[in-house]
């Protein structure tokens, strides 16, 4: 770099071409831009360089920003983003030197994008730092990678890691999601063994456990809430609706029993829930709602069938017996269909 017209005893006329040499003997690999009074270029060794015949006072603000960016390169993250930083340094300095607005604000604006780029990667929550790469959580808590390497094993490992991260994000949130991403990222300490062993087994087990727990909690919470609302409505109708006949009251009471039975069935079966990857928690919750609805329907069918002498005719006048049968009808959704099938198929019906 020079700020005078003569360098190493030679007059700088910038008759440079790619493959030629600058005044200090550096081989020029790529010229970013040039004008009558300056030139910016890459040297063969990858270094970014510039020359200016006579640096005006306003240009020192640009050079100060240039050096700030240059000081970021030796850091760990800077080494990974080195090529991007240099590219933005070159473009920013070229923009500043060519600018016709020489006030401080205009000069700083030329470097705004480059400074923002550095600020963005420096503010990342790095989950794992390896040799030439690092993993972090980007917006939306998905795992992402930045690398200066060309490594097939690293690429292969990240494809699997990305799938696990997306699976975790689908069902988890907050600390659980962050913890799962950290476990996935930590597995990259052994990424070179990804062809020989399952390096993500620990993370996969954690995600599977948390997803199952989340699905069960969602299934139970929605089901119990709907059950509570259904029971409340049925009880309010039973005790406050005037003019209801005994048959209607019996139907409402048995519907209540069916809801209780269905709720107990849901509590029993919640341990058996094993959601598939990317299965919808809303769908699981809807299944619980349907189960409660079936409890209402099957419970109501018990006194109807008894009064119609289709089944349970001997128990139609025994409220306790009808209530108990409705309760079991709620627990086992096959109870009423099997009972009807058995009785309807009898000769004479």
**Whether pLDDT at 277 is above 70:** no
pLDDT at 346: 55
Average confidence (pLDDT) over 122-128: 93
CB 311 within 8 A of CB 335: no
Between 14 and 169, where is the model more confident? 169
Indicate the pLDDT class of residue 279, thresholds 50, 70 and 90.
low
CB 275 within 8 A of CB 171: yes
pLDDT at 128: 94
Element (H, E) at 215: helix 201-240
pLDDT at 152: 92
The model's pLDDT over 93-103, given as tens digits with 9 standing for 90+, comes to: 999 988 888 88
Alpha-helical runs (H) found in the chain? 59-70, 76-80, 82-98, 104-110, 112-122, 152-171, 174-186, 201-240, 246-269, 281-307, 319-331, 335-344
pLDDT at 7: 45
Burial degree of 301 (CB within 10 A; 0-12, 13-18, 19+): buried
Between 309 and 135, where is the model more confident? 135
Average confidence (pLDDT) over 232-250: 84
Domain-by-domain residue ranges, the chain? Answer: 6-122, 126-199, 212-344
The model's pLDDT over 284-307, given as tens digits with 9 standing for 90+, comes to: 788 889 989 999 998 888 888 777
Distance of alpha carbon 11 from alpha carbon 255, whole angstroms: 100
Average confidence (pLDDT) over 231-243: 85
**Whether pLDDT at 314 is above 70:** no
**Whether pLDDT at 272 is above 80:** no
pTM for this structure? 0.69
Average confidence (pLDDT) over 67-90: 94
**Whether pLDDT at 3 is above 50:** no
Indicate the pLDDT class of residue 5, thresholds 50, 70 and 90.
very low
**Whether pLDDT at 1 is above 50:** no
Token digits for 244?
């209801």
């Amino acid at each position: 770099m020079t700020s005078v017209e003569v360098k190493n005893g030679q007059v700088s006329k910038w008759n440079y071409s790619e493959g030629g040499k600058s005044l200090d003997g550096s081989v020029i690999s790529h010229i970013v831009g040039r004008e009558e009074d300056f030139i910016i270029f890459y040297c063969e060794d990858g270094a970014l360089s510039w020359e200016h015949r006579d640096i005006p006072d306003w240009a020192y603000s640009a050079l100060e920003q240039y050096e700030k960016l240059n000081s970021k390169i030796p850091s760990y993250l800077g080494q990974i983003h080195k090529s991007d930083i240099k590219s933005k340094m070159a473009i920013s300095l070229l923009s500043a030197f060519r600018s016709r607005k020489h006030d401080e604000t205009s000069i700083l604006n030329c470097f705004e994008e480059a400074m923002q780029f550095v600020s963005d990667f420096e503010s990342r929550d790095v989950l794992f730092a390896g040799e030439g790469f690092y993993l972090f959580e980007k917006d939306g808590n998905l795992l992402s990678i930045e690398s200066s390497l060309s490594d097939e094993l690293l690429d292969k490992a990240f494809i699997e890691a990305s799938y696990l991260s997306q699976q975790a994000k689908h069902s988890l949130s907050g600390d659980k999601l962050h913890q799962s991403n950290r476990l996935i990222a930590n597995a990259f300490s052994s990424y070179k063994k990804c062809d020989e062993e399952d390096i993500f087994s620990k993370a996969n087990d954690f995600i599977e456990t948390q997803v199952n727990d989340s699905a069960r909690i969602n299934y139970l919470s929605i089901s119990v809430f709907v059950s509570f609302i259904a029971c409340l409505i049925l009880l309010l109708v039973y005790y406050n609706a005037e003019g209801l006949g005994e048959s209607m009251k019996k139907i409402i009471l048995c519907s209540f029993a069916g809801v209780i039975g269905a709720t107990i069935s849901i509590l029993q079966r919640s341990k058996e829930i094993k959601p598939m990857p990317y299965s919808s928690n809303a769908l699981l919750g809807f299944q619980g709602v349907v189960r409660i609805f079936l409890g209402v329907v099957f419970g109501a069918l018990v006194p109807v069938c008894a009064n119609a002498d289709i089944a349970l005719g001997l128990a139609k006048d025994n409220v306790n017996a009808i209530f108990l049968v409705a309760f079991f009808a709620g627990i086992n959704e096959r109870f009423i269909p099997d009972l009807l099938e058995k009785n309807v198929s009898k000769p004479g019906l």
